[in-house]
């Protein structure tokens, strides 16, 4: 019944390569070479490269929401939780080589016809927007904007600042967005 570590090595290696060098530029042969497993073993765990991609997206989404939740848990108050959301993204630049949201990277590589992939991307973004919306509803909104409009705005700020930060290779844009947000709400 014990979970095979082979499956873990496949997913860890594939995740790293998909993220660092792109999905289409990562071949099955590179995955098995760096994971040090046999090709037949890979195809007994996954039926296709696409299945590995879906597992990558799912595991990343789960890991992300889990780490975000534990980061926000200790923060009191909806406004501070929103600030914490930005700080969480700033932190991602410190650990590891953050080069942008994995979902957005895959989105640019995979055609819309791959519905299973796109569903996961949309689901992941809806989850973030829902988290923001909940905090806005719980807080004292004196911005002059409706709750939904403010929640949207905060989401656009986060998404835009994160994209900018990956272009500039620096978290400064997220910091700037956070500073402005603190003055707005």
Partner DNA sequence: AAAAAAACAGACAGACTTGTCTGTTTAGTA
Partner DNA sequence: TACTAAACAGACAAGTCTGTCTGTTTTTTT
Sites of contact with its own copies (CB under 8 A): 21-22, 24-25, 99-100, 104-105, 107-109, 111-112, 121-122, 125, 144-145, 149-150, 152-153, 155-161, 163-164, 166-168, 173, 176-177, 179-180, 183-184
Candidate residues 12, 16, 28, 55; the one interacting with DNA per rule CB under 7 A: 28
DSSP string of 109-151, one letter each residue: TS-TT-HHHHHHHHHHHHHHHHHHHHHHHHS---SSS-HHHHH
Q: Which stretch binds DNA (CB under 7 A): 12-20, 21-29, 121-129, 177-185?
A: 21-29
* Kind and range of the H or E run holding 19: helix 5-21
Q: Which is nearer to its own copies, 10 or 121 (CB)?
A: 121
Q: Which is nearer to DNA, 54 or 75 (CB)?
A: 54
Q: Which stretch binds DNA (CB under 7 A): 14-22, 47-55, 97-105, 146-154?
A: 47-55
Candidate residues 16, 43, 54, 109; the one interacting with DNA per rule CB under 7 A: 43
Q: Which is nearer to DNA, 45 or 125 (CB)?
A: 45
Position 55 contacts DNA (CB under 7 A): no
Position 108 contacts DNA (CB under 7 A): no
CA–CA separation, 46 and 12 (whole Å): 14
Residues 6+ apart with CB under 8 A from 124: 57, 61, 64, 103
Residue 136 CA: distances (Å) to CA of 33, 38, 139, 146: 48, 50, 5, 10
Residues 6+ apart with CB under 8 A from 81: 72, 75, 135
Please report, as ranges, the residues that interact with DNA according to CB under 7 A: 1-2, 4, 6-7, 26-30, 36-41, 43-45, 47-50
């Amino acid at each position: 019944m014990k979970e095979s570590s082979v499956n873990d090595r496949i997913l860890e290696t594939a995740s790293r390569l998909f993220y660092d060098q792109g999905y289409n530029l990562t071949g099955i042969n590179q995955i098995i070479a760096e994971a040090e497993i046999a090709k037949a073993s890979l195809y007994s765990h996954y039926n296709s490269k696409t299945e590995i991609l879906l597992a990558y997206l799912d595991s990343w989404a789960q890991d992300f929401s889990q780490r975000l939740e534990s980061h926000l848990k200790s923060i009191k108050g909806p406004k501070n939780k929103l600030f914490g959301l930005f700080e969480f993204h700033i932190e991602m630049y410190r650990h590891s080589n953050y080069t942008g949201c994995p979902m957005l990277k895959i989105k640019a590589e995979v055609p819309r016809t791959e519905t299973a992939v796109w569903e996961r991307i949309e689901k992941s973004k809806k989850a973030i927007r829902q988290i923001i919306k909940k905090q806005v509803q719980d807080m004292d909104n004196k911005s002059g904007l409706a709750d939904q409009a403010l929640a949207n705005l905060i989401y656009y700020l986060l998404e835009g600042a994160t994209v900018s930060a990956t272009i500039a290779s620096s978290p400064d844009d997220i910091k700037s967005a956070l500073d402005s947000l603190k003055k707005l709400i």
